[in-house]
Structure 1
Amino acid sequence: MVDYSRQQGVGVWFWKHGKDLRTPEAREEFFKMLHDLGVTGAKIDFFDHEAKEVIDLYEALLQKAAEYQILVDFHGANKPTGRQRTWPNELVHEAIRGMESSALKERARHETILPFTRLLAGPGDYTAMLFNDRRRDTTVAHQIASTAVFAAPLLTIAANPQTVLSKPAVDLIKSVPSVWDETMVLPNSAIGELAAYARRKGDTWFLAVMCGPQQKTIRVPLSFLGEGQYNGLFVRDSPTEDVKVEVEKSIHKRGDSHSVELRPGGGFLGRFSKSQKFFICV
């Protein structure tokens, strides 16, 4: 399976219960096995509290994983504390009330609070973008926008892959990076009401907006764009149904502004790609 996945450009991750890695011998055996098999990373789960022995365990796990060149996702864990500066193989902590929380009803408010609270500490494994009933009071466009707002080096998507592939916005979804070169929180943002972000990867900008419980219409100046023209690809709320989206293309430049109409719990995601210039030599 690992060999086949590598041929497809996919790295395999293994899940492991944290209680099974409490001893040096267990950690050595586990991470050596992953390395020998060619596995990319380990999702280690159920830490559950912040006693000293658990905090020490994070450090021991990261050190041994680094020795064997294994990436790590800490699930069921406390919030990140900057340890990834020492151990860059630590990609993400869960430490968030994410899509696993089936009892959560008011997701629109919840998901417009997190970017300005929990996510200030570091990436969270929210398992973003779900299109079934668990999205609660948010629209499908809101869920798509969450992939750019809830940024994480390991961005885990909750939706069934076939469901994603069947969406009219699939090309835009597939192009969302997991790491960014620049991030701007836009002035329209308000905790629990609206999260509006402009993020850049290379020469490409993304505009991501997640709306809280009340519908809104905002106008966003595109002053973050560079010089020249940009090709825009947008997914926005359908005006009639939460489960539908509209996809459109347009041309923009830095002096423009863009109007975004948002349903209650709505969303918007736009990609601005630099227009290519072609020269013909005769």
Structure 2
Amino acid sequence: MFYLRFLCLFTVVLAGKLTAKEVPMDSPDKSVSVSCSIDHGQLIYTVTYKGKVILEKSPLGLETNEGDFTTNLQIVAVNTDKIEKEYKQDRIKTSHATYQANVLTLTVENTDKKRMSVVFQVSNNDIAFRYELPIWGERRSVVIEKEITGYRFPEHTTSFLSNMMTPMTGFARTAPSYESGYIADAPLTKAKSEYGFVFPALFSVGDHGWALLSETGVNSQYCASHLSEISENGVFHVAYPHMAQNNGFGSTAAALGLPGVTPWRTITVGSDLRPIVETTIPFDVVEPLYEASQEYKFGKSTWSWIVWQDQSMNWDDQVTFIDLASDMGYPYILVDALWDENIGYDRMKDLVDYAQSKNVDVLLWYNSNGASNDAPQGPRNKMNTSIARKKEMKWLQEIGVKGLKVDFFGGDKQETMRLYEDILSDANDYGLMVFFHGATLPRGWERMYPNYVGSEAVLASEMLIFSQHIRANEAFYATLHPFMRNTVGSMEFGGVLLNKYLTKENKDRNERLTTDAFQLATAVLFQNPIQPFALTPNNLTDVPAFEIDFMKKVPTTWDETKFITGYPGKHVVIARRHADQWYISGVNAEENAVKLTIDVSMMGREEVSLIMDKADGTTYQSNVKPNKKGEIEVNMQPQGGIVIF
């Protein structure tokens, strides 16, 4: 499956303080450079890309209940290594990844003579770093109370950010659930938000390049983090969860057994946006935490709730959507909230049997519940304790359910990270896949947990049903997801809405403002190994046959991803390959049509299929012959899209 090689180059143990000298580390191709030093007793670092400054002097350090590692530090050892790694991975943007990085380990000592190391892994477009804490004498446990890790960008930088939601707000006090919109290309001085900003965060550093900040490797041993608002001296800091999350219960700190490590902080840099879209750093620096109990099957799903809503949680409507899945050749139906009351446990076995008679498997919704929110939908209190969870999962396995959608988490505290991991680990024991709604950003979880199949953690399709503002900004948000949310982790968006009006009756209200070509494009643009699409039975007859044919054939897993062109918030075109079939997909949020020349030579075909819009918004399909250079010209209409396959 993979190989891994470390090569130790040298270790320097320093007899005294190292306060002025910088300790550098370059990427293998010398394009990325990290430099660390001690400045007035504080450990700092800088980042350059191709000689241009991406991060100015930025702080490193931790405050713990066993000592302060933010001031009065000295570097006492420097170690350098190399790492080479190759691995196969399903459920992400590529099925085969290679990773080469140079490693710098700086060990610092505080005034109590306690030591801590900062480990940097520097690859050609990515930096990953974390803190490593040894055993301190008799101390074998520690609480990390605060992290001063910071990011100081040059003042001409602009930001693309999403607010951390106010704790205990929103539906049934379930926030934060990573469902805010974006600000785009804003000056750093505008990066103000009381509760900070979620990862990932994107920055344009003018002609110096681009940078994407995130974190990965968060499991039950740590809390999840986010970015603070920019400080008065121009620094974004890593911030831990707010105390008000989870109804004020649970610590905002992180407890570690020693020796212990923090999650990885990641920085992806490039002259253009290609490294941002194509990065695999969230998965390069983590490893599987357990073996898959079986081979899990991914694919498309129908989902009645998204358009037909709560009223569809009944036997007859679920049978209708099972039949729709069967007609589409989809392997799954997602049966959403309230099935426990409206269908019942006794009849669920019969529904699963009926679905399987149609070659469709069932995924079931659950409330994460416990004491952290007020969400009333059931099943409740089945996932929040080990005893109840294992009993429920045993029953699910017995009746043939294949996976779970677990909703309403609303926090990033360490105890919530434990709940995510416990659900995933227990589900694997019973052969169940899991995806999360109302949830935090996944942080390397596709590689860490073999039965994990995605998270919402985005302003997703349900908000198109509920909000005119979100419908009006659908294209704007869609052009940001490939550069931000979806580039660091699978995104269970639940889209491709082909109803003209987002209601069961398909009339009168909730008018969709994007074209059919736009909607079809998002089936490729948004990556998640299981995607419950928002198709409804009437679509089989009320949209052109070529659209349904495309939705029957489009895959949900990918072997390769390439950035073609675009700018966050304006338009985007990317290409994805499944086996030997390429799909090129794009959407346009600008006020005018965008004329593009797209290289399709990778398809290796004399003629390609093109789905595109006319100026009046009508979506059509045609066959196009590339020119001698392997290019075709397209016009992406406003609120429109393209798919080439």
TM-score (structure 2 length as normaliser): 0.40
Q: Which residue of 2 aligns with 1:141?
A: 517
Residue 554 (structure 2) aligned to one of 155, 169, 176: 176
| Aligned-partner residue type, residue 25 of structure 1 | I
Report the Cα offset of residue 238 of structure 1: 2.5
Higher relative CO (Cα under 8 Å, sequence separation at least 6) belongs to: 1
- What do you get for the CA RMSD once the two structures are aligned? 1.8
- The percent of aligned pairs where both chains have the same amino acid is 29
Equivalenced residue count is: 266
Return closer, same or farther for 1:118/1:84 CA change in 2, 3 Å cut-off. same
Residue 569 (structure 2) aligned to one of 182, 192, 203: 192
Q: Which residue of 2 aligns with 1:208?
A: 585
- Describe the superposition over 1:118-166 as per-residue Cα deviations: whole angstroms up to 9, x where unpaired: 1122111211111334574422211110000001101121231431554
Q: Which residue of 1 aligns with 2:36?
A: none
Residue 394 (structure 2) aligned to one of 27, 32, 57: 32
- How many angstroms apart in 2 are the aligned matches of 1:190 and 1:3? 47
Say if 2:625 and 2:632, in contact at 8 Å, map to a contact too: no
- How many angstroms apart in 1 are the aligned matches of 2:581 and 2:627? 13
Q: Which residue of 2 aligns with 1:153?
A: 529
| Aligned-partner residue type, residue 67 of structure 1 | D
Q: Does 1:13 align with 2:13?
A: no
Q: Which residue of 2 aligns with 1:279?
A: none
- Describe the superposition over 1:15-45 as per-residue Cα deviations: whole angstroms up to 9, x where unpaired: 1100121111111011111100011111111
Report the Cα offset of residue 253 of structure 1: 8.1
Q: Does 1:249 align with 2:623?
A: yes
Return closer, same or farther for 1:135/1:201 CA change in 2, 3 Å cut-off. farther
Report the Cα offset of residue 247 of structure 1: 1.2
- Whichever structure has more strand as a proportion of its residues is 2
Q: Which residue of 2 aligns with 1:225?
A: 603
Q: Which residue of 2 aligns with 1:269?
A: 643
Residue 122 (structure 1) aligned to one of 489, 496, 503: 489
Structure with larger Rg: 2
Return closer, same or farther for 1:164/1:145 CA change in 2, 3 Å cut-off. farther
Unaligned runs of 5+ in 2: 1-350, 370-380, 502-509
- How many angstroms apart in 1 are the aligned matches of 2:492 and 2:415? 23
Alignment of 1:31-180 (within 5 A): 31-101=393-463, 102-103=466-467, 104=470, 105-131=472-498, 132-133=500-501, 136-163=512-539, 166-168=542-544, 169-180=547-558
Unaligned runs of 5+ in 1: 272-282
Say if 1:107 and 1:135, in contact at 8 Å, map to a contact too: no
Return closer, same or farther for 1:252/1:175 CA change in 2, 3 Å cut-off. farther
Equivalent position SS for 1:96 = coil
TM-score (structure 1 length as normaliser): 0.88
- Describe the superposition over 1:227-280 as per-residue Cα deviations: whole angstroms up to 9, x where unpaired: xx355222111221x3x3111124558832111111111101121xxxxxxxxx
Return closer, same or farther for 1:135/1:144 CA change in 2, 3 Å cut-off. farther
- Describe the superposition over 1:150-192 as per-residue Cα deviations: whole angstroms up to 9, x where unpaired: 0110112123143155422211221110001111110x21111
- How many angstroms apart in 1 are the aligned matches of 2:580 and 2:626? 14
Return closer, same or farther for 1:165/1:174 CA change in 2, 3 Å cut-off. farther
| Aligned-partner residue type, residue 411 of structure 2 | H
| Aligned-partner residue type, residue 210 of structure 1 | V
Q: Does 1:22 align with 2:384?
A: yes
- How many angstroms apart in 2 are the aligned matches of 1:254 and 1:42? 49
Return closer, same or farther for 1:231/1:37 CA change in 2, 3 Å cut-off. farther
- How many angstroms apart in 2 are the aligned matches of 1:270 and 1:255? 17
